[in-house]
Amino acid sequence: MARLRPLKKSTNHPAPHLPAPFPPPSASAGCPPPDANSPLVAPQLQALALGLGTECELLRAVVDSITEPFYAWSVGGLLLMANRGWERATGVRRDTALGKSCSAIFPTDMAKRFLEVNRLVIEKGHPVQEEEFVDQPQGRVHYLTLKFPIRDKSGRIVAVGGVSLSKQA
């Protein structure tokens, strides 16, 4: 399999006063409540205007509108989120896969490759492009995958996000 060169590390960083783009989950299963002093109030109001209850619901709607697989794995290898595109590509229902390890969801060779690329992202600390594959009933489908670190407020990598584009025409 051909190795692709990693993406260059971005030098465009958001201003330090801006919150992380994905707020950490609250203790409850829902999104954190809006903070009137937060710069996120405007997007939250925009989400409400679109008929969505919160910015978090807006984010969920955006992610599920992406037709290609979009997902996030914990640094420990557990599936944290996946969209409908991920379900279609893998043939696995996300409600049965969330919280499970990669090796519990996929055959060994697939899980090994996914985890290999995740480790690369964690080691390098910036996005990488790699080729991955999914074995489907009609055969192996190859994907060009962009995986990226997801950091907590202190800057520590806590998850690996990714989006995969099929190389099939």
CA gap 140, 62 in Å, rounded: 28
In the prediction, which pLDDT does 16 show?
38
Residue 48 binned pLDDT confidence (cut-offs 50, 70, 90): low
CA gap 46, 44 in Å, rounded: 5
DSSP H helix total and E strand total for the chain: 6, 5
Question: Is pLDDT above 80 for 26?
Answer: no
Same domain, residue pair 48 and 82? no
Give the range of the structural domain holding residue 102, as residue numbers without chain letter: 67-166
In the prediction, which pLDDT does 87 show?
93
Angle at which helices 55-65 and 41-49 cross, to 10°: 60
Give the predicted TM-score (pTM) of the model.
Answer: 0.68
Same domain, residue pair 96 and 49? no
Same domain, residue pair 73 and 57? no
Provide the mean pLDDT of the chain.
77
In the prediction, which pLDDT does 140 show?
85
Select the more confidently predicted residue: 85 or 61: 85
- Give domain status of residue 3, yes or no: no
- Give domain status of residue 13, yes or no: no
In the prediction, which pLDDT does 147 show?
95
Where a domain ends, among 50, 65, 80? Answer: 65
Question: Is pLDDT above 90 for 34?
Answer: no
Per DSSP, the three-state class of 60 is helix
| Interval 129-165: pLDDT, tens | 988 888 887 888 889 999 999 999 899 999 999 999 9
